[in-house]
Amino acid sequence: MAIHKTAVVHKSAELDTSVEIGPYAVIGNDVKMGAGTKVEPHAVVSGPCTIGERNLIGSFATVGGAPQDMSYRGEPTELIIGNDNQIREYASIHRGTPHGKGKTVIGSNCLLMAYIHIAHDCVIGNNVVMANVATLAGHVEVGDRAAIGGLVAVHQFCRIGSLAYIGGVSGLGLDVPPFVIVAGIRERTRISGLNKVGLRRNGFSRQTISNLDSVFRIIFRSPNLLLKDALELAHKEYADCPEVDEMISFFQTSKRGVVRRTTED
C-alpha cells in the first residue's frame, strides 16, 4: 500500500494493500476501497462508501459526501462504486438519502470527467460517459453506455435510457428514451435522431439497427398517431426484437413523461 505521508486516512477505512493515496488526500470513516484503486492529491473520500477495484479518483474530487438535501439529518446512507471507473478532477458524487434509495450507485467502466456532479440517490449504469460539468440532480437514473455532453443539466427523477446521447449544453426535464440523440434546440430539448453510430460501435447488428430505425419513425415521426397507438404498432411489427421491447417499456414505465418532440417539429 502506498499512502503519502501527508495523506489523512481514518483508522476505520478498509483499503486493499495495492491502493495508492496521494499527497493531502483525505480518506474518511467507513470507506472501503478495492485493489488497484488510486486517489490523487487533495481528493476527499467520505463514508459510508464502497469503491471497487482499479478506480481513479482525481485531484480535488469529493466522493461520498453528504447529500445536498434539506431534509437530511446525518442518517447512515451510502455510495457504492464499481470497478475501472475514472472520476476526474473536481468531480462531486454524494451519498443517498433515507427517503430515497438510501444509496447512490455507480457501475463500472465509467468516464466521469472534470467538474461533473452526481447528486444523491442517482443510479448510473456501466460504461457511462459524463463530459465536463455535466450535472445530475437527485434520483436520476442513467442506463448503460449512455453519453452525456458537457454542461448538461438533468432534472431530478429523470431517466436516461441506455445508449442515449445527450448533446452539450442541454437541459433535461423529461425522460430520454434509449438509443436516441438529444440536443438543446431553440430553448427546447428535442430528439434529433437514432444513435446509429453508437449502436454500430457497440456491436448491434444491421437488422437490429434497421428495426430501431423503423420504430423511431413510428414513435417520433408519425404526427397522426397517438403515443399509445404508436407503441402498439411498434410492438406488433417488431415484437421479436429485445431492443424494441426496451424502448417500448421505457415509455410505458415513465413517470415524468418522455421527450418526444424532434428537430423536425
- Pair (104, 206) in one structural domain: no
The pLDDT of residue 264 is 77
pLDDT in tens, 171-220: 999 999 999 999 876 556 899 999 999 999 999 999 999 999 999 999 99
Q: Is residue 74 part of a domain?
A: yes
pLDDT digits (tens, 9 = 90+) for 40-61: 999 999 999 999 999 999 999 9
CATH number at residue 112: 2.160.10.10
pLDDT above 60: residue 19: yes
Q: Which three cell numbers stand for residue 128?
A: 457511462
CA end-to-end distance (rounded Å), the chain: 58
3-state class (DSSP) for residue 16: coil
Place of cell 487533495: 42
CATH number of the domain that 203 lies in? 1.20.1180.10
pTM (predicted TM-score)? 0.96
End position of a domain, from candidates 96, 118, 139: 139
Asked if residue 191 is part of any domain, the answer here is: no
124 within some domain: yes
**Would residue 108 count as lying in a domain?**
yes
pLDDT at 22: 98
User: Do 125 and 203 have their domain in common?
Assistant: no
Catalytic residues: 120-121, 138
Could you tell me if residue 74 is left (phi over 0), alpha (psi between -120 and 50 degrees) or otherwise beta?
left
More confident residue, 16 or 185: 16
Do residue 126 and residue 206 come from a single domain?
A: no
The DSSP output letter for 176 is: B
Alpha carbon distance 241, 232 (integer Å): 14
Q: For the residues of 121-134, what is the DSSP string, one character each?
A: T-EE-SS-EE-TT-
> What's the rounded mean pLDDT across residues 18-25?
98
Residue 165 counted as domain residue: no
Same domain? 17 vs 122: yes
CA Rg, the chain, in Å? 20
Phi/psi-derived region of residue 84, left when phi > 0, alpha when psi is between -120 and 50, beta in every other case? left
**Residue 52 domain-assigned (yes or no):** yes
| Measured distance CA(181)–CA(203) in Å, rounded | 18
- Indicate if 132 and 209 belong to the same structural domain: no
Within a domain: 68 = yes
Residue-level pLDDT at 51 = 98
| Structural contact between residues 115 and 121, judged by C-beta atoms closer than 8 angstroms | no
pLDDT in tens, 143-162: 999 999 999 999 999 999 99
- Which grid coordinates belong to 102? 438510501
Same domain, 130 and 245: no
- Rounded Cα distance between 189 and 182, Å, is 7
Query: What is the pLDDT at residue 261?
Result: 87
- Measured CA to CA, the distance from residue 66 to residue 116 in angstroms comes to 16
The C-alpha atoms of residue 150 and residue 235 are separated, in whole angstroms, by 34
pLDDT value at position 184? 75
SS3 of the chain: helix, strand, coil, percent, to 5: 15, 30, 55
Residue 138 to residues 164, 208, 247, Cα–Cα distance (Å): 19, 33, 23
Beta strands in 68-150 (DSSP E): 78-81, 86-87, 92-94, 103-106, 111-112, 117-118, 123-124, 129-130, 135-136, 141-142, 147-148
Q: Are residue 207 and residue 78 in the same domain, yes or no?
A: no
Distance separating alpha carbons of residues 214 and 257, to the nearest angstrom: 22
The set of cell numbers assigned to 118 is 452526481
Statement to judge: residues 119 and 20 lie in one domain = yes
- State which of 90, 117, 139 marks the end of a domain: 139
Same domain, 125 and 43: yes
* CA 78/CA 29 separation, integer angstroms: 12
Domain coverage including residue 20: 2-139
Number of structural domains found in the chain: 2
Report the SS3 class of residue 8.
strand
Q: In terms of domains, do 121 and 219 share one? A: no
Check whether residue 103 and residue 205 sit in a common domain. no
Q: Could you say which of 101, 118, 139 is where a domain stops?
A: 139
pLDDT score at 186: 52
Q: Are residues 111 and 233 in the same domain?
A: no
In a domain, 6, yes or no: yes
User: Does 253 have pLDDT greater than 90?
Assistant: yes
